[in-house]
Structure 1
């Protein structure tokens, strides 16, 4: 399984067919050898049935992660939170480790965005139970459309030789040039959390700037064009301007329906504020970001909406849904 070869002919297990996992699993099935078997495990029956009924190629379903471990050589997981990852791996009755013999030679590619400390805890259990297994924390970035397009970025933590072995597999889901080894175990997740935090901090600034421009009477498209041609440019100003009609494919164009919800954004932001606390890094924006998301998940303007709906907290009701920050 060298980095220049295609994905190996093996039995693949994929656990989690949610917003990201569905597209990722689709690309794995389409790009691995036609002779390879793929077994999927998903609690949501409608998502599982939709996948099996719409994706071409040899497919089977498993009732539990344990069954995946018993039958598969390469196991990919895409799960919503650390608790789900711990259950999938560690449940004594249904978990992956329950289906592994001590000398199992499995490759675990764990792509969920969870706390680095939680991932390291799972890794320790894997190493104790299955010393010959290989494990990478490999969170992804890009969102749902790139998950379906197979153009994700992978931020990977783990041994370099395992990373090289896994590259042909990750290449089925992401751009080859965007498979990045960030360091040892946990480094992929720490990198992802830092990236997410910076993106959301810049989005809050974009919300403030666009709302100010609207109140001043500026044309929002012109304002955004200037931002994107100047030093204020950021990923969100290019792709996800919060003013409807400015970016054709932004979540604002869909009235913030679907996509990565505010509840999930609150979770990934808290992962970063927790990481800063754990490593003793000074933070000024952290408490502000925590406060914004806490208000968003309680507000009818944002609850259960796509995460960039927090623009409404700035633009509607004169920002009365937001708090005040006191600098001591």
Structure 2
């Protein structure tokens, strides 16, 4: 199905994921891009690296909305999403929203996303504006390569999905329609809950095998061939040196910060409570990430630094 692809995009949030995602959007489309972030330095860096004439720096989120046909947002938490969209005079919804598409890729609680989505719809009396929750998975390395997964709060048969698919395909490999509003976030919270537990379990298993005398690379290769095979072990093993190109072998610098994993695990637990879904492992795993994120040795490091929290001597 042919889609009316936007010629002018807006982007709010150029953090660890947003920066490479927006870069991919520029590289894989001919559209122009209006950008905004609270950090002026990152705005200047992005604009200086961009093709001539295709990127403009906005003074606030409102200008991004005014100047764009499709606006993507990716910020750390629900309170930031509210600020970006709902701030009087300078937020996205203070601008012209008529006929526009808003795609929020942030990982936040479902209730906040629905509140913001309602406000987006109410901002346009003609009811021609659209809002979708489309959080992402695949890490900064995946974002830099354009191979991340988008979990989209939209049904496959929705008339807007071909457009959403075409836009997100410039930045990712898998564009998954999860069935409807809020279900993109439902999938992402489920994903990160499992990912966080797998990383912790992989750390424990690696530590166990190493304590018993197995070389860590040999152990990782063994796990990869058995019933314990998982993406964390094979791609970003928590033990430094096992995956030489991963952030875990580079001082845990970059990647998905441990405090963000703490946030997402708590959001998943809250969602489970609200839905009446029983969690057995959640409390213990959350406790591990809370402890690691509160330790200055590990805070701001990639979340797989939970391995170091596990094996390093406590103060």
- What TM-score, normalized by structure 2, do the two folds share? 0.94
SS at match of 1:183: coil
Residue aligning to 1:116: 110
Residue aligning to 1:22: 19
Residue aligning to 1:39: 34
1:167 aligns with 2:161: no
* Structure 1 residue 9: Cα displacement: 4.5
* Structure 1 residue 304: Cα displacement: 2.1
Is the Cα contact below 8 Å between 1:135 and 1:158 reproduced in 2? no
Of 45, 54, 65, 2:49 maps to 54
Structure 2 unpaired stretches of 5+:
none
Residue aligning to 1:325: none
Is the Cα contact below 8 Å between 2:136 and 2:148 reproduced in 1? yes
Higher alpha-carbon deviation: 228-237 or 299-308 = 299-308
Residue aligning to 2:74: 78
Is the Cα contact below 8 Å between 1:137 and 1:186 reproduced in 2? yes
Distance 2:180 2:74 in 1: 20
Aligned residues: 310
Is the Cα contact below 8 Å between 1:297 and 1:304 reproduced in 2? yes
State how 1:146-295 maps to structure 2 within 5 Å. 146-159=142-155, 160-175=158-173, 178-295=174-291
1:302 aligns with 2:263: no
Deviations 1:23-54 (A, max 9, x none): 11111122222xx3211111111110110001
- What TM-score, normalized by structure 1, do the two folds share? 0.91
Is the Cα contact below 8 Å between 1:242 and 1:250 reproduced in 2? no
C-alpha spacing 1:210/1:132, structure 2 compared with 1 (3 Å) = same
* Structure 1 residue 158: Cα displacement: 2.5
Deviations 1:38-87 (A, max 9, x none): 11111111110110001114111111111111111111111111111111
Distance 2:195 2:32 in 1: 38
Is the Cα contact below 8 Å between 2:6 and 2:69 reproduced in 1? no
1:10 aligns with 2:7: yes
Of 121, 137, 154, 1:141 maps to 137
Is the Cα contact below 8 Å between 2:6 and 2:70 reproduced in 1? no
Deviations 1:292-311 (A, max 9, x none): 11111222331222111111
